[in-house]
Amino acid sequence: MRQAEELDALVIGAGPAGLIAAEVMASAGRSITICEAKPSPARKFLMAGKSGLNLLNAAPLPDQIATYSEAADWLSPMLHAFGPDQIHAWAEGLGEPLFTGSSGRIFPRAMKASPLLRAWLARLDSLGVTLRRGWRWTGGAYQFTTPDGPRQLAPRTTVLALGGASWARLGSDGAWRAHLTARGIACTLFQPANMGFAVAWSDHMIPHFGLPIKGARLIAGAHSLRAEFVLTARGVEGGGIYALSRALREGASLTLDLFPDLSATELDARLARRPAKESRTNRLRKALGLSGARLALVNECTRTPDGATLKALTLPLGAPHPMDEAISTAGGIARAELDDRLMLRNWPGTFAAGEMLDWEAPTGGYLLTACLATGHWAGKHAARYR
């Protein structure tokens, strides 16, 4: 291997956390090199924006911070320093105006991630940032495989922003965990987050795969919300399931209130008004307006569809979908391994950000917000490190 190449500042990983860290450091006058394992940067970011890039959420900042659960206190100063308001201004400064949808989710008007990424990369280029594609970190400090063979780098400071462990084909494969544990840095185990769950459906559900269940309240332990979800050949997916995925992953059962605006007593009264000889399916259809996928779900999950059951229909969930199919992951570098600058305690000059850190959040803009906030925070402190 050649002699190690000396660098001022290195960022490993060209996702949102790594790119914002590079921007902050370059703006502070540091000379930045980004190493990205894939042939192009921010692949997961681009994929997330294919159907509409949910960049932010319009909820008040204290409510947003609370969504990070036990990591809320840890992330709070970072979200105050570069949170929703600052990210909103940053995106519009890149020429990408945003709008707020009816659900409170905030999107670029272009909807896709690609225009924002193009403008962002152009800004980084104007700041003199070098992007090396196809450079995969293989361990040590810092060894890489590259299109031109093995290389070793010797940076003055480094920001690690290699993502979590989902969507490996896009770059977030979690392989970095082995490199850190080899240095004695503790990492909590990865788990899927914001994912679907398996259900062993009977054949009568086949015609309803791909259809949404709307208007229900979903309950998992102490958590509940009104949201829709989708029936699939493998189980259930969609926003309502993702929002409760942590509680479900940790063992809570899932129940559905299919009529959140009616009491069990009212449901029973409506059912009782139907003729006694009427079939169960016709009674549900004519008394309660159940049809299609909702009716099929009731027939699948209970033989006694009375008011109480329809207000707490148990959905027989199996295992969560595999981690590589999850939108995000829980787990990562343990909080105790990082100081308040996000620098690794036993690796001076090396900082970490984004989904590498041990936090999780629901979808709705919170994932990207925390990735950008932690990347900005790590970049700000790395810029000061000499």
pLDDT value for 219: 98
Question: Using CA atoms, how far apart are residues 302 and 295, in angstroms rounded to an integer?
Answer: 11
Summarize the confidence of residues 141-151 as an average pLDDT: 96
Task: Please list the alpha-helical segments (H only) found in the chain.
Answer: 16-27, 43-48, 61-66, 72-81, 84-93, 114-126, 176-181, 239-243, 245-249, 264-272, 280-288, 292-301, 307-310, 366-384
- 327 residue type, one letter: I
Q: What is the pLDDT of residues 234-243, one digit of tens each?
A: 999 999 999 9
Which pLDDT score is estimated for 228? 95
What's the CA gap between 166 and 326, in Å, rounded? Answer: 6
**pLDDT tens, position by position, 173-188:** 999 999 999 999 999 9
pLDDT of residue 350: 98
Q: Which segments of 130-186 are extended strands (E)?
A: 130-133, 136-139, 143-145, 151-160
Residue 50, pLDDT > 90, answer: no
Structural domain boundaries of the chain?
5-193+323-384, 197-320
pLDDT band at 52; cut points 50, 70, 90: confident
* Angle, in degrees to the nearest 10, between helices 280-288 and 292-301: 130
pLDDT number for residue 257: 98
The pLDDT value given to residue 48: 86
Name 35's bridge partners: 12, 132
Place 2 in a pLDDT band, splitting at 50, 70 and 90.
confident
- Percent pLDDT > 70 in the chain is 100
Q: What is the pLDDT of residues 312-324, one digit of tens each?
A: 999 999 999 999 9
Task: Encode pLDDT of 343-385 as tens digits.
Answer: 999 999 999 999 999 999 999 999 999 999 999 999 999 999 9
pTM of the model as a whole = 0.94
The candidate with the shortest Cα–Cα distance to 16, out of 376, 381, 333, is: 376
What are 322-339's pLDDT values in tens digits?
999 999 999 999 999 999
**Which strands make up the sheet holding 223-226, listed edge to edge?**
223-226, 217-220, 254-257, 313-315
What is the pLDDT, as a whole number, of residue 1? 59
Prior bond to 142 cis, omega within 30? yes
List the one residue out of 39, 7, 302, 295 whose CA is nearest residue 141.
7
Q: Which pLDDT value is given to residue 295? A: 97
- pLDDT (mean) for 1-9: 89
Using only the alpha carbons of the chain, give its radius of gyration. 24
Structure confidence at residue 300 (pLDDT)? 97
Provide the token pair at 376. Answer: 């900005």
Residue 76 has pLDDT above 80, yes or no: yes
Q: Backbone phi, then psi, for 298, in 5-degree steps?
A: -65, -45
Percent of the chain scoring above 90 in pLDDT: 95
State yes or no: pLDDT of 115 exceeds 80: yes
Q: What is the mean pLDDT of the chain?
A: 96
Across residues 186-208, what is the average pLDDT?
A: 97
CA 247 to chain centroid: 15
Does residue 10 contact residue 155 with C-beta atoms inside 8 Å?
yes
Domain over 5-193+323-384 is classified CATH 3.40.640.10: no
DSSP string, 215-258: SPEEEETTEEEE--EEE-SSEEESHHHHHTHHHHHTT--EEEES
